[in-house]
Chains A and B, each alone.
Chain A
Amino acid sequence: MHLLSILIWLPICAGLLVLLLGDRHIGAARWLALVATLVTLALAVPLWTHFDSASALPQFTEHLAWIPRFDAWYGLGVDGIALPLIVLTAFMTVPVVIAGWTVIETRPAQYFAAFLIMEGLMIGVFAATDALLFYFFWEAMLIPMFLIIGIWGGPRRVYATIKFFLYTFLGSVFMLAALIYMYVKGGSYSIAALQALPLSLIEQRWIFVAFLLAFAVKVPMWPVHTWLPDAHVEAPTGGSVILAAIMLKMGGYGFLRFSLPVAPDASRELDLLVIALSLIAVIYIGFVALVQQDMKKLIAYSSIAHMGFVTLGAFVIYEIVRNTGSATGAGMGLDGAMVQMISHGLISGALFLCVGVLYDRLHSRQIADYGGVINSMPVFAAFMVLFALANTGLPGTSGFVGEFLVIIASFRASFWYSLLAATTLVLGASYTLWLVKRVVFGPVTSPRVAALKDLNGREFIVLGALAIAVLLIGVWPAPLLKVMQPTIHHLVSQAIATKL
């Protein structure tokens, strides 16, 4: 059984089929797209249920010769870090297809095809156990996203999409150079081999910087975050959802999969750099979010701030070991980083979908154009408020679990880190709730708002499913944590070991 291969290639093949059906048979193309994403999601279920959560080793592995000359393999497998992200990817593509059902008017078949192909490529990124294959998927994914923003985006879409492409390309090229260097040195592209490859401190520093360039751009971390607000604002709703929910996670995934285990000594040495950048993202970007006039831009900045917790949680482990002398509690930082990624994927995706719901009706994302939406759209308002509260980290929602774990972990490292990180509780609440206050509550500002229609069935299903997921992880995160446990444990031991 090649479950992972099916998960990767089923959406891609379906996407090509949708492309062939074209706009002339758009009805069939739409249904095919929906069925393909649903089947992919259904196939992700056995992946979760049959996963042995007592093992840290890759499971569902596939190993086929790809380029024997480079000892590069078509190697797939999932461990406790990849599994939740793959499920998240399969889960989040469904609402994207449903949300674009009738809204996309120009070249709809290509729109659905692009998302299907991208779904397969994104699953490939998380499932690859060979660094060359990983890079292959990682870069290939830029093509559909470039087209999605460029074709279906807003007025400044060309600027935004080229900026997005070049930024990520710049980071990735140096990662590629680092991967090739390690291949030349060690003779293998297998990720496990790279993790085991002995490297001197100087080599590790170079490699760490190369990885940092790639992953920091993707996460994105301050100061290489500027592509994200542009891309989010210009992208169509579906593009924003995928961008925020999945693509940003690849940066975090990269830190966990490559930076920490491949260059542990350099990570230890340079951890303060990453921690500082993360805290700047949390605080400074939080303030930036506060003053935004555009809803999507606000959520984009909020994403950067929330992703700061992921990188903070990942790198705070070195400070924990340094200050307490033991690795206990280090796992909590990584746990927090992972939960934060999943949770942020759901919440930011949901918030972008909410903005999309409003945008489809009024064709404006300006906060000033709204006000009193609750009067005409009570059901929508309920969802919006729920996701906003989740975004602020309200206990009972998934947003709480990740942030809480990271703050606790950073407390072990230093009181000051946790104090600075905890400012998010104030800042996050400020910008999110102020957004909700101005958009959802208050007096009805214009006749157009008064004439808004509440959610239709399609939108209700999409937001409802996301709300359930957010609450489920919020009140009962144990299954998620349990699946990750052995892998995180293994990762901690790799990250704090030395290669020197």
Chain B
Amino acid sequence: MPDSAFHWSSLAPAVAEIWLAFAICAILLTEVFTGDKRRGLIATLTLLALVLGAALTVRYGQVAQRTQLFDGMYVADELGYALKLAGFLIVAVGLLYSRRYLENRSILRGEYYVLALSALLGIFVLVSANSLLTIYLGVELLALSVYALVAFDRDSGVSAEAAMKYFVLGAIASGALLYGMSLIYGLTGTLRLDAIAERLQNPLDPGIILGLVFIVVAVAFKLGAVPFHMWLPDVYEGAPTSVTLFIGTAPKIAYFALTLRLLAQGLSGSTAEWTQMLAVLAVLTLLLGNLVALVQTNIKRLLAYSTIANVGYILLGFVAGIPDGYAAALYYTLVYVLTVLGAFGVILLAGAKGFEADRLEDYKGLHRRDPLLAATMLVLMFSLAGVPPFVGFWAKLRIFQALWESHHLWLVIVAAAMSVVGAYYYLRIIKLMYFDDPAGAQPPTTRELGLRLTLSVNAAAVLVLGLLPGPLLDLCARLLH
């Protein structure tokens, strides 16, 4: 059975990571040799790398069944495959939206793209992790890249402050994660998640529960669940908007995978314990996220609290503690990322050189100045509010359904009530765009045809997936069964 002979083809399931690591080196070198002269080149190369990566993944990365690589440190399955393709797509679209903004802020440099790619590599490692070490590797690769991205505008004091906060708090969370992992490792004697799942049995050792607490804290920090959410609004507001877009989209997929692989799969023996912990966190998150979002005046900060609120719903999917609940959480995450991607795209396009368009009042009368942007934002906001015919409705419906299946009456009531509170601040943005008159003279919005087309497709996807939700719902359910 042990085939000691090494075949290159056995690495095929990890093609996405391998290609990305190669692309990062190549782009970094290109950047060194071309310097600042041809800035557009790096952006184009990066997009090309992402498209090629997706193509290679489709060609070679598919696996018929769950396969373990690298001595069980790494797992390739359908879920990882789908999430990686989603990662390529989201990062590519996000970078596309960002380019003009980076130019306007004079931070269009090669390093930006390299950091984004290495963050994506971290996401991929997390998505396919099957060992505590791999998880930690992915978490840190992603986090370190993102810290640097937040501080990318060296001249901005706000960005530097946000990066510092993020880094310090993130380091504490990493510490908690490591400590929790060390306890689990010490008590089970293995780093591999599938082995841990086998060795955990009732009654649980109190040490395992202690480790679990630390791990839940770290996961909650990464997701931005209350009371570990403090970094999120400051980072969202302080980072350059294109970085906020990045933080707000692709990493959410990774943290979904982190929660799934670590808690739902690795520590499945303690589901009863961690669902209780997450239930408390989810309710707090829903309450605080929605209520504090009501009073924001900065749209990035508002979307930060909206993120927190939405994380509450994702957590509720996990709280259900059944595969259907995890599928609901996955569906919610994908839908949320798709919607928020467009929303930040609108913010990026609404801005101009020297004009960030990050205050809510900057959106007054947007409908008159740029009907397409306003209509796009309208669709996205109604989707976030969970109103049909947009896809956000199905995401909420799926969560409610999972909660009913696991008999959580009170959580259904809290989630339903909070979705009404949430609707208010999304409506407020629509109100500003459609019901108010423009406030003073504002620079014109970005009118790049390609970008606007991408954004329209993004909004159209939110509508079409809302009208015909079947395929994506089926996919999410299949990935988790």
A interface vs B, CB < 8 Å? 66-70, 135-136, 139-140, 142-143, 146-147, 150-151, 157-158, 161-162, 165-166, 169-170, 173-174, 176-177, 180-181, 183-184
Contacts and interface: CB of A to CB of B under 8 A. Distances in A.
Nearest to A68: B470
Contacts, number: 76
- A-B pairs, top 6 by smallest CB distance, nearest first, are A173-B416, A184-B404, A150-B435, A67-B470, A136-B388, A170-B420
Chain A CB count within 10 A is highest, among B388, B419, B428, B434, for B388
A120 to B, nearest CB: 11
A67 B387 contact: no
A150 B473 contact: no
Contacts of A169: 387, 420, 423
Contact of A151 (B397, B404, B405, B435): B435
Contacts of A157: 435
B477 A139 contact: no
A69 B420 contact: no
A162 B429 CA distance: 12
B427 A165 contact: yes
Interface in B303-341: none
A68 B473 CA distance: 10
Interface of B: 382, 387-389, 393, 397, 400-401, 404-405, 412-413, 416-417, 419-420, 423-424, 427-428, 430-431, 434-435, 468-470, 473-474, 477
B477 to A, nearest CB: 7
A180 B393 CA distance: 13
- Please report whether the interface of chain B is mostly helix, strand, loop or mixed according to DSSP: helix
A371 B393 CA distance: 50
B203 to A, nearest CB: 31
A285 to B, nearest CB: 25
B404 A146 contact: no
Nearest to B409: A206
Contacts of A176: 397, 400, 416
A136 to B, nearest CB: 5
B389 A140 contact: yes
A176 B388 CA distance: 12
A208 to B, nearest CB: 15
A67 B430 CA distance: 30
**Candidate in B404, B428, B473 with the most chain A CB atoms within 10 angstroms:** B404
A174 B423 CA distance: 14
A198 to B, nearest CB: 17
Contacts of B419: 173
Given A69-B470, A183-B401, A150 B431 contact: yes
Contact of B474 (A66, A69, A135, A161): A69
Contact of B434 (A139, A142, A147, A170): A147
B410 to A, nearest CB: 12
Given A157-B435, A174-B416, 8 more contacts: A68-B474, A69-B470, A139-B393, A162-B428, A173-B417, A177-B400, A180-B400, A180-B401
Contact of B473 (A67, A158, A173): A67
A153 B83 CA distance: 46
A142 B387 contact: yes
Contacts of B401: 180, 183-184
A158 B431 contact: yes
Contacts of B431: 150, 158, 162
Given A69-B477, A169-B420, A177-B400, A184 B387 contact: no
A143 B382 contact: yes
Contacts of B416: 173-174, 176-177
Given A143-B387, A165-B423, A180-B401, A67 B469 contact: yes
B313 to A, nearest CB: 13
Contacts of A135: 388
25 contacts: A67-B469, A68-B470, A69-B474, A135-B388, A139-B387, A139-B393, A140-B387, A140-B389, A142-B387, A146-B427, A150-B434, A150-B435, A151-B434, A151-B435, A161-B435, A166-B424, A169-B420, A169-B423, A173-B416, A173-B419, A173-B420, A176-B397, A176-B400, A177-B404, A177-B413
A351 B427 CA distance: 31
A166 B389 contact: no
Contacts of A70: 473
A147 B388 CA distance: 15
Contacts of B417: 170, 173
A161 B473 CA distance: 33
